[in-house]
Structure 1
Amino acid sequence: MISSSVRSAVRAGGLTAALAALLCTTATTVSVAAAEPPSARTAAVRADVPAGVTAGVAVFDRRTGTFTEQLNTAAQFRSASVVKLLIALDVLWNRSPDALSAADRARIDTMLRGSDDAAASTFWSNNGSGAIVDRMVARLGLTDTARPPSTHPGYWGYTALSARDTVKIYRHLLDSAPAATRDYLLGGLRQSTRCATDGYDQHFGIAGSFNQPWAVKQGWSGFSSGGCTAPTTKAAEAAGSGEAGESLGTAGAVDLSRPALHTTGVVGAGDRSIVAVFTLHPGGTSYGKAYTDIGRLTRSLNVPGASRPAGTWIGTWGSGVRVRTQATTASGAVTTLPAGVEVLVGCQKRGQQVSQPPYAGDWWAHLPQYGGYMTNIYLSVPENQVPGVPVC
């Protein structure tokens, strides 16, 4: 019988049954991510940047007019899909949402809710490409934002952007834009879908760390698989759009090579806080690992007005792990987890017995952020019933 310590190590690494059997006879020490209750972080801990991650962070409290977090706020990152905020604002600069054609309205809706790349590419091509960025820099007084490098003018996701400029963008949208524009664009961001149109789970960072109300625009670049649906490769799907994962080195101060994952938006009643977290990860980092790291960083921040969900954060192992509506494999699938991602477990209950040799168990974890259940055998803990997690 496999020992609990080896079993935990196998789960944490997503190892095969054959390798698990080998580990039964050749003990190996493998570190496992510990479960992290929300209370584990003290109020004094701020901007807890995971090892190997480069981050730019800004949190602005609109009630007091002050920043509660500032870390590398002027550092330029390739924007990935966060630039879609500027693309949408440019479309609506001198016209009301009611004046949009049905086709353009549909494009903005899917671009903001599902982070659709094709819609962004259409606007980019039709409205002057890099000139869009130039116009918005002048209009909003942005200081760290710049169009993509001349070598890749069609790659809108290579637009340079900083955390402090992102706060300026949201402050304009909230405080200066016409009410119709504000309500329309924020309405789209409030309806961010868990699965983006390219099959990536985009509810990391802000969306995974805080209860609603929030409105988010996320960005990712340099990953090949993001959970939710059958994996697609950004480079293949969005060639020329700026979301490709190819290694290009740097363009001035902007790193175009390392995997990027960004979470931006507004949080709390009355959209009290503006949050901008930009991150770069070591080459080869999986989407699940980056998703987990940006989640831990975001949860460490002082975000006035934010409501944090109750539960225990626990690592997972395996790929293609489904979250289901009930504690049974016969129930419908809500989504598929990014491989190896950390999840918030609210409670657990007994359900259908599930076998994934060498494991078997009938305990299921309820994931409040996903609104469904996953079998406990894919949690990176040695027991089938997780200690300290209440029964549903």
Structure 2
Amino acid sequence: MTLSSSRGGTVVRSARRGAVRAGVLAATLTALVCTTATAANTASPSSSPLPAVQADVPAGVTAGVAVFDRQTGTFTEQVNSAGQFRSASVVKLLIALDVLWNRSPDALSATDRARIDTMLRGSDDTAASTFWASNGSGAIVDRMVTRLGLTDTARPPSTHPGYWGYTALSARDTVKIYRHMLDSAPAATRDYLLGDLRQSTRCATDGYDQHFGIAGSFNRPWAVKQGWSGFSSGGCTAPNAAVAKQQDGAVAKEATGKAARTQAGADAVDLARPALHSTGVVGAGDRSIVAVFTLHPSGTSYGKAYTDIGRLTRSLNVPGATRPAGTWVGTWGSGVRVRTQATTTSGAITTLPDGVEVLVGCQKRGQQVSQPPYVNDWWAQLPQYGGYMTNIYLSVPENQVPGVPVC
């Protein structure tokens, strides 16, 4: 068993016990070795300001990153910041700003206000599609490009005009969007939209756990708008086939995305690889604007992508941000529940994405759980979920996680 440190707290990694777990965790362990090796010399205490470090992009991941310090007016991180990515649900920021252009939130109908709330808090696709169809589709993007002076943003390709999530967007343009929201938009608009982003729900309306990246890496205060595309399920709830396929504003199967990319030319935005993006503001006074866009190898699971964008985000120099205390530990298995107490009979808070890395605050004895040939009565407290998971699904060889205190 090996203990290594990471800029988001301690990371535990180990060889698995027995043949039952070996196959399940092989990919996870490989990723841990690749992505934590360069972080071993940069650990800092939990719940402390983040150090000035270079963005650590995990192996196999294509990233676009920008971090802007509003206090100094400078970027602290820029990696491929002009690179264009398909926006996925991050474009919902532009959709909402367009609805509110020259209009106060108080002037919205109750129905439209409810749509914006669920679109930003729960990343609801139906609400976004309604606004997209009603307000001119791609013309929304054209208007916002002109209004905000965006340089890398473009409407979806002509082959897929209804796919609002295929809007091209870069990390540096995303910083411009947030800077407008914070510094130029009317106060009522700013407070309303940021208020929704501060109330981002862990489980999105399509059953995906959306508290990755910024939301998992830093303590509040933060406000986030996340995006994902190209995954079949994402924890929180059992996947609903009808919902899981409705990504990017239409039924967007991977084969269709590949065809669209070919039709649009070699330099087109990648519509095929799984995408996971985390954007928002962090720290007191919304000091830092953070935009992290990522593409992952075809076939990457949601839990793996979730873990990789988390590690990348934790490596960033984000002025004003602090990190949560605890130890990051890999998990294995499918459908692992987080419960209110250390028992299998207590209420289920949520379901973890398969194989995701979790932050463990402490551990205690609870109900004995059996997963042949293993038996374990230790449970891990997960502060970011407000509950417990059985240690039997943590990727460590002992029943207890080494170095983690007893609750």
- For the criterion TM > 0.5, the same-fold answer is yes
Which whole-Å deviations, capped at 9, do the CAs of 1:144-201 have from their partners, x for residues lacking one? Answer: 0000000000000000000000000000000000000000000000000000000000
Residues 1:192 and 1:10: Cα distance change in structure 2 (over 3 Å): same
Query: What SS does the aligned partner of 2:378 have?
Result: strand
* Matched ranges for 1:39-78 at <5 A: 41=43, 43=51, 45-78=53-86
* Residue 116 (structure 1) aligned with residue 124 (structure 2): yes
* Matched ranges for 1:1-392 at <5 A: 5-7=15-17, 10-11=20-21, 13-14=23-24, 33=32, 41=43, 43=51, 45-233=53-241, 237-238=245-246, 241-242=249-250, 244-247=252-255, 248-249=257-258, 250=261, 251=264, 252-392=267-407
C-alpha distance in 2, partners of 1:45/1:64? 17
Deviation for aligned residue 1:233: 4.9
C-alpha distance in 1, partners of 2:22/2:385? 21
One-letter code of the match for 1:294?
I
Which whole-Å deviations, capped at 9, do the CAs of 1:68-88 have from their partners, x for residues lacking one? Answer: 000001000000000000000
Cα pair 2:229 2:248 within 8 Å, conserved: no
Cα pair 1:222 1:234 within 8 Å, conserved: no
Cα pair 1:114 1:195 within 8 Å, conserved: yes
Cα pair 2:340 2:386 within 8 Å, conserved: yes
C-alpha distance in 2, partners of 1:52/1:203? 22
Deviation for aligned residue 1:12: 6.1
Cα pair 1:11 1:381 within 8 Å, conserved: no
User: Structure 1: which 5+ residue stretches go unaligned?
Assistant: 16-29
Cα pair 1:8 1:382 within 8 Å, conserved: no
User: Structure 2: which 5+ residue stretches go unaligned?
Assistant: 1-13, 45-50
One-letter code of the match for 2:89?
S
Deviation for aligned residue 1:7: 1.1
Deviation for aligned residue 1:118: 0.2
The alignment's TM-score, normalised by the length of structure 2, stands at: 0.88
What is the identity percentage for the equivalent residue pairs of Structure 1 and Structure 2? 84
What residue number does 1:21 align with?
none
Runs of 4+ in structure 1 over 3 Å off: 8-15, 30-45, 232-237
